[in-house]
Amino acid sequence: MTQPIDIPLCAAADPFPQAAHFRLPEGSCDTHAHVFGPMERYPYTPNRTYTPPDAAPGAYLHLHRTLGISRGVLVQPSVYGTDNRLMVDCLHYLRRQGLQYKGVAVVDAAVSERELDELTEAGVCGVRMNLLFKGGIAWRDVENLSRRLAERNWHLQFLIDVSEFEEMVPRIRRLPTPVVIDHMGHMDTAKGLHQPGFQGLLTLVREQKAWVKLSGSYRITHQPLPPYLDVVPFARALIAADPAQILWGSDWPHPHFNRAMPGDGPVLDMLADWAPDEATRHRILVDNPARLYGFPSR
């Protein structure tokens, strides 16, 4: 399949990940990662923003074994639109290995109950809304779906820039489903802690109206390599707002990122600085994802 010249190719993740310098608790969960390819079997949507290299389930599991992670959540990336086949196939594969993995799909407003049933059977428990990149779901579709998803105890996951999302707080407050915000709100750190959108995000966390993923730190920083010191106050502010609403995700294999590719061990190491208390890290890595995604309690 020929690659259109106007859609950029992504760099690949580090094929030789290193472990973090702290020991992860048993049952730790990576709540945000993707798998890609092969394109001949799982074609990408033509109106996408980027084209990723293959990122196979075996490499994903190798990353988790290296980091000491035993649970994970696969998130449907924008390049597949509403074609969730690769994620579903991967979830079935992981289940056959006796592993505990869940999924977050992208669906359209007219999705049938049968398709939702099939996604549930595969381990899907949420729908992603992407307002940053082409190929994702639109807000109006999420409004139409929210009542149906609430009946299934699913959640909504938003990829948004909180500094640019209008009426974020009242919109999210009105939704009947739990809401998860990707990548710490995906806001440039240069805008500062007092930016109204980020303050609104803190309000939603305090009210337990939103969960936030400590993921994609390299997407909001102005520093070339970890530990991304300009991200520290944002991560700590989110944890302080309510540590029971915070999750961690690797964002592997770091698609649509054109600067120096971060190492996965150094990225995870930052969590020990953001949350020095071991009990707080246990909540973020084990207890909180178990509660949101329905993993067995540890």
User: Is 269 strand, coil or helix?
Assistant: helix
pLDDT tens for 38-63 read 999 999 999 898 999 999 999 999 99
> For residue 24, is it within any domain?
no
**pLDDT on residue 70:** 97
Question: Within a domain: residue 61?
Answer: yes
pTM over 0.85: yes
The residue range of the domain holding 208 is 29-293
Write down the pLDDT at residue 4.
52
pLDDT in tens, 243-279: 999 999 999 999 999 888 999 999 999 999 999 999 9
Give the H or E element holding residue 248. Answer: strand 246-248
In a domain, 21, yes or no: no
Residue 217 has a pLDDT of 97
Place of tokens 């086949």: 85
Nearest to 181 by CA among 191, 200, 194: 200
Examine residue 8 and state whether it is found in any structural domain, yes or no.
Answer: no
Over residues 111-166, the pLDDT tens digits come to: 999 999 999 999 999 999 877 654 455 667 778 889 899 999 999 999 999 999 88
Say whether pLDDT at 298 is over 70: no
Return the percentage of the chain with pLDDT > 90, whole number: 84
Angle at CA 73, nearest 5°, toward 67 and 75? 120
Tokens read off for 101: 């993995």
81: left (phi over 0), alpha (psi -120 to 50) or beta: left
Asked if residue 3 is part of any domain, the answer here is no
* Inside any domain, residue 44: yes
Q: Which residue has the tokens 């549930």?
A: 120
Supply the pLDDT for residue 75.
Answer: 98
Domain with 256 in it: what CATH number?
3.20.20.140
Q: What confidence tens digit (pLDDT) does each residue in 173-197 have?
A: 999 999 999 999 999 999 999 999 9
Report which residue type is found at 159.
Answer: L
Taking only Cα atoms into account, the Rg of the chain, rounded to an integer number of angstroms, comes to 18
| Total count of domains within the chain | 1
Q: Is residue 20 part of a domain?
A: no
Residue 171 belongs to a domain = yes
Q: Which one of 141, 251, 264, 287 is the catalytic residue? A: 251
Q: How far apart are CA 271 and CA 264, in angstroms?
A: 12
Is 230 a residue of the active site?
Answer: no
